[in-house]
Chain A
Amino acid sequence: MPRTVFEKIWDEHALAKRGEDEYLLYVDRHLTHEVTSPIAFEGLRQKNRSVRRPDLTFAIMDHNVPTADRALPVRDEHSRAQMRALARNAADFGLTLFDYFSPWQGIVHVVGPELGLTLPGITLVCGDSHTSTHGALGALAVGIGTSEGEHVFATQTVWLRKPRLMEVRMEGSFKSHVTAKDAILYTIRELGTGGMIGHVSEFRGGAVERMSVEERMTICNMAIEGGARTAIIQPDEKVYSYIRNAPYAPEGEDWDEALKYWESLKTDPAARYDKSYRLDVGRLEPQITWGTNPAMCIGVTETVPDPRLAEDPAQRRAYERALAYMGLTPGQRIEGTPIDAVFIGSCTNARLSDLVQVARLVKGRRVAPGVRAMIVPGSMLVKRRAERMGLHRIFMEAGFEWRNSGCSMCIAMNEDRLGPGERGVLTSNRNFENRAGPGSRVHLASPLTAAASAIEGKIADPRRYELASIEELELEWVSPWVECNVLAPLRGG
């Protein structure tokens, strides 16, 4: 029977079936962070249980960590307590830990792929909904809760209901200044926050094949905002190149054997899906959210909706509430709305290629007076790579804060947040009420739209800014990895 890439990996890891559609899957990689894990570790202690496979389990501090100077103390006592608890749990249970001071620290969904912990064909779980990100490398990756995490610690397996299969086919070529972020925002806008519930979304089609691995991570990351259980893209040469020589990736004969298996992980031509959605990315303009969930989204030249035109009373109420919360008027143009802050960061858009794109727009320009603009690299490795290239100087000369890595303003568990009523353009993934701090007003957009908005001090259409070429950035030092996986795809158009 023809199968999709997701089914092939599922079948390889399913150890047992329970009831109609629940399977016990073996977990090849378990990533864990300081916020969702402490109660799972406590559960193990109470029952005198150990972590079955500490060699497959990696602990990373990301949600709580301050992004200022690491020599300064962590002031928030609750954050400090969770970070200490993770350090102690990693030591007690024998796990590899990337702590606050580790040169490999970063957001778990950036660190996994860049260190080669994430590989095609593996099962990977993490107590975080954006675990879907790892699907971009052809992994079967699912976000789990704390009870499930405890079960994985103890058994290295997880019970999962087999999701239905959804195909999200993206064809065509992006217009200039329109990005993968715009494509996924538009998809969620069309399908709604519940449009993918119960499904794994497989992104495919010419536009996806042409995307870099980092762009693919952006779309898989946000599939969860459309309700998807997770997302996946069949692996290809770009993925192999991305992880080749990564610290934890296989070497020598192991690499050759792995590659042979990975090449078999293609969706069969006759494979069937339960649901399909098709998008021509060539007709998109830059997208930006106006409301309080990621589906409340419009093109940057459009006007915010008028609740009176809503389809049903529930939608009208939701629109009215969102407009009031966001401080917007029905029918107003979104472009030109004054902002207080810009945040370039998060597991959605803080990888090296995102930073290069921002640099191409802001080089030689200045952040508008009164706007707080911060760049929080997805990992400390992203930060070091950017600094070798000299990107940080472009950002600092433009007036951006150049910070250390963490989840930061995306979840506002550290000090990085918007004040009540403050409006920001964020490259992250959620614009829920109070997400970036109590009373915060969040507009989600691509790094280019966020950068253009920082320059104008208002929500801005990035297409009005010519992008510097890679050569014009006058990069100081470019490693072969960066050239191949980050710069070449951007040069390609």
Chain B
Amino acid sequence: MPEPVRRVVGKAAPLEMDDVDTDQIIPAQFLKVLTRKGLGRYLFYRWRFDEQGRPKEGFVLDRPEFRDAVILVAGRNFGIGSSRENAVWALMDFGIRCVIASSFGDIFYANSVKNGLLCIRLDDDTLRGLRSRAVSGDMVLDIDVERESISLPDGSALRFSLEPAVKQWLIEGLDEIEYTLRMYGEAIRRYEEGMRSYLKPRRDAAVPLE
């Protein structure tokens, strides 16, 4: 169950790249885990470490001025590809609280919301401006989820919009399973009672007992 997310304040780092897929956010070899903790060290692993696991120079989040970044300003189609929620867990474990992009992979976006990682969509031009201002390494943003507004260091503000349900989810941080069963348990039971018999698979039809 995620913590409520009402406000994100902190430094923004620019990621000058479109089509960042979830294989890049966290490679498949680090999906062989039984816990979500500690995945931050594998974030963008191939861009940050060589084949022997030695740190590579120069990736934006490893540069001294961006070590404390909590906001990632990306490009188009961030988080496309695989459904791995590990991508979201790795970003959050690393300390990222918000990703700004002009579009997101659908499953990545849904996974982010469930975990309280704020994903903001801005148009390409605004995004490009924001990235170039972030390059200096001293752009601190103050993001107000409730008011859907990003305050910049010069006092100006950018507006963004979230779907109402997403916004409510972020602000409240509820236990969705408990919520669904409480609010819609009756509707689920009714559907199940009316479920046609052909929808029920024959139990163990293909499974010899071994």
Does B34 lie within 8 Å of A197, measured CB to CB? no
> What is the bound-complex CA distance between A430 and B206, given in angstroms?
31
Binds A, one of B65-73, B102-110, B133-141, B142-150: B102-110
Give the one of A157, A251, A413 with max B CB within 10 A.
A157
Does A161 lie within 8 Å of B176, measured CB to CB? no
Give the one of B17, B81, B183 with max A CB within 10 A.
B81
Does A147 lie within 8 Å of B105, measured CB to CB? no
* Interface set, chain A 74-104, CB cutoff 8 A to B: 76, 78-79, 81-82, 85, 96-98, 101-104
Does B206 lie within 8 Å of A104, measured CB to CB? yes
> What is the bound-complex CA distance between A485 and B210, given in angstroms?
31
Min CB distance, B209 to chain A, in Å?
11
A318 within 8 A of B: yes
Does A129 lie within 8 Å of B82, measured CB to CB? yes
- Set of chain A residues within 8 Å of B206, measured between Cβ atoms: 104, 115, 247-248
B204 within 8 A of A: yes
Contact of A28 among B34, B106, B199 (CB under 8 A): B199
A314 within 8 A of B: yes
Min CB distance, B137 to chain A, in Å?
21
Min CB distance, A442 to chain B, in Å?
11
B29 within 8 A of A: yes
Binds A, one of B5-13, B54-62, B90-98, B163-171: B163-171
- Set of chain B residues within 8 Å of A64, measured between Cβ atoms: 32
- Set of chain A residues within 8 Å of B208, measured between Cβ atoms: 103
> What is the bound-complex CA distance between A53 and B184, given in angstroms?
16
A15 within 8 A of B: yes
Does B107 lie within 8 Å of A143, measured CB to CB? yes
Min CB distance, A147 to chain B, in Å?
4
Residue of A nearest to B30 (CB): A78
> What is the bound-complex CA distance between A487 and B147, given in angstroms?
60
A489 within 8 A of B: no
Binds B, one of A167-175, A252-260, A269-277, A359-367: A252-260
| B interface residues (Cβ-Cβ under 8 A, vs A) | 16-19, 21, 23-24, 27-29, 31-36, 46, 51, 75-77, 80-85, 88, 103-107, 110-111, 114-115, 163-166, 168, 176-177, 180-181, 183-184, 187-188, 191-192, 196-208, 210
Kindly list 7 other residue pairs between chains A and B, CB separation below 8 angstroms, not including A81-B32, A101-B210. A24-B184, A36-B31, A63-B31, A116-B201, A144-B110, A159-B176, A318-B19
20 contacts between A and B (CB under 8 A): A13-B191, A19-B165, A20-B163, A35-B32, A39-B34, A55-B201, A56-B201, A128-B82, A155-B177, A155-B188, A156-B188, A159-B180, A194-B19, A197-B106, A247-B206, A254-B197, A254-B198, A261-B196, A314-B75, A318-B18
